[in-house]
Structure 1
Amino acid sequence: MKNYKVIEIINNRALLIDYGTNDGAHHGDTLRIIDKGEPIIIDGIDYGTFDAIKDIVEVDIPYPKFSLCRKVLYKKENLLNPLASFERTMRTLQPMNVDEKEVSNRKIPQPSPIKNGDIAVLTNE
């Protein structure tokens, strides 16, 4: 998987990534901006790196050598329901029934702010 990079931060709503139509970029493609993490090697198997995900952005306008990318939030509203603007989806994490002797307590990576030169990985999530 090829890594791309943030080449310019225009403002807090737009940035440029060196992923363009020459690389196959299309409007709507998504990329993760990451801090490369430590390798996860368990029982001699390399599972890749445990990266901190800084953000997920979408290609808004692709150009040959780069794309204008933005963070996009899609929201569904029922326009016929006057209370629709008050509807919200909440996400909570719940504990799982795990064997406490198997818990590794590995540190979960925390992302830093996005900077020029950060790695961007095509995900199309």
Structure 2
Amino acid sequence: MYKVIEIVDNTQIIINYGTAQGAREDKQVRVFSIGRSVVDPETNEDLGTWNVIKATLTITEAFRYFSICSNKEVKTSSVLEPFPSGFTRTVTKFNNINVDENQITNNKNEPAAPIQVGDFVEIL
């Protein structure tokens, strides 16, 4: 499992995942901490953990055994603005689900803490 090994500043971290393991520039990674266990109420089987996602980052520089990651944002806009050019904006909305409200647990993970050295990294 890969981890955060250094926090360079508030725009860059270093992870122990490099080109020797398949890293390449523009690949995305997810930084997380281990969350609470999820248990099947019928079988009492532990189904795993609901991990706390701290950030989804992009590898901006890949070296043999480590990579530099940043919160890279690319904005696309029309060079013809303010004239319409077919450029669209995507908005995501989460609508309510029809559930039995008596069974809502509100058993959520704690809010994500800041990224720390030793946090886990998942390659996307």
TM class, shorter-length: 0.7 to 0.9
Equivalent position amino acid for 1:17 in 2: I
Alpha carbon RMSD of aligned pairs, Å?
2.1
Q: 2:29 aligns with which of 28, 31, 37?
A: 31
In structure 1, the partner of 2:96 is 95
Question: Taking structure 2 as the reference length, what is the TM-score of the superposition?
Answer: 0.82
Match of 1:16, SS state, is strand
Highest Rg: 1 or 2? 2
Aligned length: 119
Q: Which residues in structure 2 correspond to 1:6-25 (within 5 Å)?
A: 6-25=4-23
Amino acid at match of 1:93: F
Quote how far apart the aligned CAs of 1:89 are: 4.8
Counterpart residue identity of residue 52, structure 1: V
Equivalent residue of 1:110, what SS? Answer: coil
For residues 51-66 of structure 1, the aligned pairs below 5 Å read 51-66=51-66
Which amino acid in 2 is paired with 1:115? Q
SS of alignment partner, residue 116 of structure 1: coil
Q: Distance in 1 between matches of 2:44 and 2:80?
A: 57
Q: Does 1:70 align with 2:70?
A: yes
Q: TM-score, normalised by structure 1?
A: 0.82
Alpha-carbon separation, structure 1, partners of 2:27 and 2:47: 25
Q: Secondary structure at the match of 1:108?
A: coil
Unaligned runs of 5+ in 2: none
| Stretches of structure 1 lacking an aligned partner (at least 5 in a row) | none
